[in-house]
Amino acid sequence: MDNEQPKHLTQQQYPYSDLMRSLLITRLAGGESLEDVNYFRQELQEIRRAKVPSADTIARSLKKLSVENHIFCDTKKDTVVETNYHARHNHLLFSIAARSLPSKYGGYTLDLDAHYVPCKKEDANYDYKKNKSYSLMAASIGTHFVDIKVRNGNVSPKRGQQECLERVLKRCQEANINISAVRIDNAGYIFKMLDALDRKSIRY
């Protein structure tokens, strides 16, 4: 995990793996926000070899990892849409999956779906259920997420599906991961995408 990060982050007091470990354990312990790390910090430091930064340190480090949003105008809906794709982190996600997935007779099923995450963040927008949220375009193989693109809640569920599908299938081919089927809900009923799957002899 730390090897995937920029050099200036690997040289800081708390490496990326410590930041993620602290956030994960805090969440599993019932924490709901970044600040909850401070409440669990003393207990977390009792874990062998654990380095637990403060919430402020984690926030500063996460900001260094961020990438700029892509902003465009959806003329059909007359709305401004923001998306965010972190190539380095998605490469890390796929690398973890590629190391964890054994060869499977008959191949794997790739799941592609939009996941709505309700939130009260200032830059979130209202989804089709009128909830303020982010919409994640996520691809997964079994229990492993292999590609995630963060979008505002007002983005159409089908937007970017074909781009995501082509990107993941290319990586799977390079990693010798056999994808024999793709599972998508009705938002994925796009002729161009289904035709591409037919040409690759991939079921859907």
| Domain spans, the chain | 2-65, 70-199
Ranges 38-52, 54-68, 170-184: which has the least confidence: 38-52
Report yes or no: 158 and 190 within 8 Å, Cβ to Cβ: yes
Mean pLDDT of the chain: 85
In the chain the first and final C-alpha atoms are separated, in Å, by 33
User: What does the pLDDT look like over 27-47, one tens digit per residue?
Assistant: 888 888 888 888 888 777 777
Does the pLDDT at position 9 exceed 70?
no
Whole-angstrom distance, CA of residue 182 vs CA of residue 203: 6
**H/E stretch holding 166:** helix 161-174
Does the pLDDT at position 4 exceed 70?
no
